[in-house]
Amino acid sequence: MDKENLNGIPEEEIIKCSYCGRNEAAEGSEYCDACESKLLAKRIPFMGWAAGFVSLLAAVVLFTVAMSGTILTSGVSSGDKYADDKNWHAAYEQYFEGYRKSVGRINVINDFLNGIFETEQRAYVNPSLGIKKKMINVVANYYGPLDAYYYATAFLSENEMAMPFMKDYTRIYQDFQTTYMTVEETSNKSFEENADYKAILAEMDEHADKEGVNKVFLNYHKYVVAVNLGAPVSEQIEILKNIEKFAAESGDDYSWLSNPTMAQTLYDAGETDETMVYLDKIIESNKSSYEAYRLKMKIQVMAGDVEAAGETVAEFRANYENNELGYFADVLEIEYLRCIGEYEKAEALCVEADESYKNVPETNGIMDLTYIIENRLIVPTEIYRQRALLLMTVGNYGDAFREIMEAYRMETYYAQNIQCVTSLNDPKFYGTLYLSAFLANSNNQVAEEDMPDVEMVLGMFSEGSVSKEIDAIKNGEKTVKEVLAEGDFEAA
Amino acid sequence: MTTAYVIFKILTFPGTFVKGFWEHLICKILGLPVETSAYLSLNELCGHVDHTFPKKPFAAFVMATVPSLMNLFIGSAFFGSGYKLIYDMEIGYYESRLAFVLGVFLLYIGISFLCNIFPMVEDAMNLYDILYVQKKGNTVGRIFAFIPTVFVYAGSYLERYCVTEILLVVFIVGFSLLKKYMFI
């Protein structure tokens, strides 16, 4: 008898359950009822649940952290974008902001881990080092590797200083130090009375082949001696060309050392065309270089190309757009407006720039530096100085003195109490201070309450300690306008 | 090819295992019988579960896309975090061993998930068949489902032949180049 089921269908035509292979599959299914129930009831393994939900939870946490944009990597991406544009100042600001925000959170994580492992103040997580590294690299690009090294010593631990990314900075610092120590005794002769720069420079050259002496730095030290002893500018340029020559031979990049000094020296020599070449080189590698843009703008104004100077100022301002460092753009524009004789506009911009400081609290009558730093402001002494120059140009010497004196008080207070870097040693700064005091005094524009300050300032400077331009004004060889509204537009 | 497939699946076992779990979970939700629940079996089912194919369009769509999306989300979060730690922060081994190892770990987990984002070829074929051969479901739904269907269909074949791993490398390189223009 043929094998048939109850419905009379031949056995070979019956669709069997694909799981057990014995029973007939239910209608519309590949399994029999018993197997389908069994398979539907099949549990998900515990490991599946655990892996699935742990990974999902971790992903949600990581996603939230990444989206919050305020932890670990905050500021890095935008800082990188500025760094790619060689806008180092803005890049530094972004990195610093990210660093500041991440430090607090990382401390929480480390405290938590120290609690779990019962350890004391151990840094299990230190990812902010990534930002530190970027900040140090930015300093190297803005100022140079020597400054990056000095900056790092105040910023990194001993172990961190030994890390690979510090190797080049440390090597350059050691080269600089070794060279300096080798020639120190000779170069110190420049402080002796009747020092002969030619003899000193020749003696310094004798150290050139000594062990550890870097010829680039040796020539830099020679340049410093030449400047200090008033060697002719042509000889200073010769030394700087040697720096370039030895730098090229070394294979290392020393443009951070040679370009700014060469630009300034060529400018002092009146070689404005060549200066512009160097300034463009500096700007190409550092879009935040206020000094390079400033000199470029001045050269263009002096050449009568006011429009190009305006474009230079606008280019610099564009680099500071959408970040908190518009201060520098303001300072450059104020100086530009002053140089082209737009005194009212310059004054208006001074007032506008000063607006940012309205809410700064004062300690002993001085703006609170902590507040300034925390609120990403810049100590506004250069604005005060520019305003003083502006006021002197229009003959208001009394107010000019009051303005620069305010900046002087600020700088002195910070220098004495916080030991921060100040403009006190900058010839432009103390030149402005002295000139305003002298002019206010000699034109009887000193308010009674300012008289002690004026006397103090005049007493601080001996004959010949200020610039030739100021001496020329004192001796009646030049007018104030000839110095401040023409030529170099400066009191230094 | 199955050997290469299994090797890649085992190399990326965290993502493989969890992908199997999501498929199993979706089968449970959709009421689809599952024959084997070994997520790391050494055959072409590695990273998948052997299940009955859904017959309704929405169920077929969910089966083919939701486990993929879950792995895509998890993989992106892990990969993105690891990428930021290692590449954005530039944390090398010497900077912070713990952070570096964590970064590498996150990258690996992320990659393992991203290498396991596509459904089985049979699931993708089933979806395509239901929506565009049998033309089940409404027209609007089929229009909206077209691009995801093509994506998972193509992706499932790429994953079957281990091409996703190569594409991932291309993506990482491309992302490295693009990232500087993507965030500001």
B22-34 residue pLDDT tens = 999 999 999 888 8
From the candidates B41, B94, B104, B176, which should be mutated to test the interface with A, based on the most A CB atoms within 10 A? B94
pLDDT at residue A484, rounded to an integer: 87
* Chain A interface includes B30 (CB < 8 A): no
Q: What is the pLDDT of residues A34-65, one digit of tens each?
A: 888 888 888 888 988 999 999 999 998 888 77
Mean pLDDT across chain B, nearest whole number? 85
Q: What is the pLDDT of residue A361?
A: 87
Does residue A386 carry a pLDDT above 60?
Answer: yes
Percent of chain B with pLDDT over 90: 38
**Average pLDDT over every residue of A134-156:** 92
- In angstroms and rounded to an integer, the radius of gyration of the C-alpha atoms of chain A is 35
- Residue with the bigger pLDDT between B64 and A39: it is B64
Of the listed ranges A10-24, A142-156, A342-356, B42-56, the least confidently predicted one is: A10-24
Q: Does A124 touch chain B (CB under 8 A)?
A: yes
Identify which has the larger pLDDT, A354 or A337.
A337
Mutation for B interface: A44, A125, A156, most B CBs within 10 A: A44
Per CB-CB distance under 8 Å, the chain B contacts of A134 are 90
To the nearest whole number, what is the mean pLDDT of chain A?
A: 86
Give A200 or A359, the one with higher predicted confidence: A200
> Is the CB of A51 less than 8 angstroms away from the CB of B96?
no
- B136: contact with A, CB 8 A cutoff: no
pLDDT for the residue numbered A6? 53
**What would the mean pLDDT of A289-317 be, rounded to a whole number?**
94
Q: Is the pLDDT of residue A277 over 90?
A: yes
Is any Cβ of chain B less than 8 angstroms from the Cβ of A65?
yes
Identify which has the larger pLDDT, A4 or B139: B139
Which range has the worst mean pLDDT, A41-50, A360-369, A443-452, B169-178? Answer: B169-178
Mean pLDDT of A187-192: 88
Q: Do B81 and A62 touch (CB under 8 A)?
A: yes
Of B20, B99, B181, the CB nearest to A127: B99
pLDDT at A70 > cutoff 60: no
pLDDT of amino acid B94 = 63
pLDDT at residue B175 greater than cutoff 70: no
Q: Select from A225, A223, A217, A148 the least CA-distant residue to A179.
A: A217
pLDDT mean over B6-32: 91
Residue contact A58–B33, C-beta within 8 A: no
pLDDT of residue A78: 79
More confident residue, A39 or B98: A39
At A296 the pLDDT is 96
pLDDT tens for B117-153 read 999 999 999 999 999 999 888 888 889 999 999 999 9
Mean pLDDT on A217-235: 93
